[in-house]
Structure 1
Amino acid sequence: MSPNLPSPTAAAARPLPPIFLSHGSPMTALEPGEAGPFWQVLAARVAALNDGRPPRAIIAVSGHTLTREPVLLAAARHPTVHDFYGFPPPLYELRYDAPGAPALAERVAGLLQDAGLPVHRVDEGGLDHGIWAPLRFIWPQADVPVLPLGFPPDWSPAQLYRLGQALAPLAADGVLVYGTGAMTHNLRLLSGPAGRPSIAAPERAESAAFRTWFAERSAAADWPALLDYRAQAPHAVLMHPTDEHLLPFYVAAGAADRGDGAPPARRLHDSVTYGCLGMDAYAFGPDAAAPA
């Protein structure tokens, strides 16, 4: 067992509900806006489900770590990756160098193989800003082991839901499945003749309609509609010209499916930045409401 990965205890913790967090612009690492206070209390709410402890480890599925087939980044330690350019210098000075989870990578690889899914394990690491920007507010000490799982952006929501299903057994061991992306993500809307809108700009009607549809279908556990969101959700293509930032939602949702019916989904946080970047957060499964 990796020295960075705490051993399971005999305490009867409740399975941790998988979560999806919208990480927004890289600037949220410095200016988190309305999402900041939510992120700052999320650690305590997760600990309340885990006998007062943080997660044993975090499996991070980010819209910025994209691979041709699923890849586990099994390094013993992850450096901070500043995968952006043109931002203020203080943003590049931030560090979130977290421990890795090599031993957990072996188990995850086995679960994916048992599910008939391809998987690769590499002894390399690094946390993209989609992973570390929220985590620096949730667990600021960077002391919870992280296992990034790269995913193929050309897989459908149903395929990624199935990928998440393979991870479902981990929740009972205190492992948190963490999807990070954006509920709405069209960076073209941030540029125009008037320049970038302010961070507090009024929300576009199309963004509000899309986010409301997702919240309503999630509350109803309407997975046939959610999995077909690109055809059924209002303004889906405008809000996601490419959908890599929404796809981690489906991995997290699938990780709550233990074969006993469609998992409930609960929107935990609801805000928007720049008028079109949704910062919504969701949890999945029977305890989805607990972190709210």
Structure 2
Amino acid sequence: MKNLVFVFLPLLTFYVGHTQDKVFDTHVHIWDGEKSVREYLTQLDTTDLTVTKFGGIYMAKKGQMEETRLKNNELITLSKKYPQLLPICSVHPMDGTEAIAELERIVKLGVNSIKLHPHKNSMDFDVTDERVHSLCKKAGELGVTVLMDNASIVPGDCQKLFDLALRCPKTNFIFTHMGGLNFRFWNTLALARTAEGLLGNNIYFDISATVTLIVNSPLEEEFIWTMRNVGMDNILLGSDFPQFNLKQAIDAVEQLDLTQEEKQKIRFGNAKKLLFPD
């Protein structure tokens, strides 16, 4: 019995420490307002998880400014009722000056991040459009972080986003899914950073969905290599709820051959520094 105690005590200590770690889920879709928030929190309860903060995402529709304002207001109101919720609002870049005006309005209400999703089945815009550049540049001037989908389901996804980040060096970007199965592209950051004056440290990634696919696969070691090349200080945890859940993401990160310090940065530390510093 005494020997069993020595065997299980380190495991118990690790488990308790792990469960008490702070967690930020950067990628939670709020499709149905408060109903979505309740479903997300219920799912956490069913998997015995708690979350310190989560990013609640809305995505705007082109040409529907009244709805955009209402949905942004709804998300901000929910964040006051549910303190764990960080409102990640949205404007549609193709709405031009109206989009920028709405961005300025929500910043005055305390919003510090927005979501853009260029793919056709979402917000449907071309990342290279000058209105995207103007909006993202303005976001940087206002201290707003821009989350942009980066699942690489369309040609040139990573390349276009990289160019956008180069053109908006004062804007912090979170490229979600870290390129999907095209994650290898982002190793170029290790080279780009050696070119003086080329790139600011303004590119971050969430590894939602991608990490759950990669773990225990032949690509796992290469994925870890890429994570270290882009920088462990630049990687955030995300679930991509409701398509995936937070437990899947946490379990996948925990299985990766990373140090506990690296895992803690991914689970919470990096997001805190970027999105809600003291």
State the TM-score, normalized to the length of structure 2.
Answer: 0.30
State the TM-score, normalized to the length of structure 1.
Answer: 0.29
- Larger proportion of helix: 2
Which structure has more relative contact order (CA 8 Å, sep 6+)? It is 1
> Higher Cα Rg: structure 1 or 2?
2
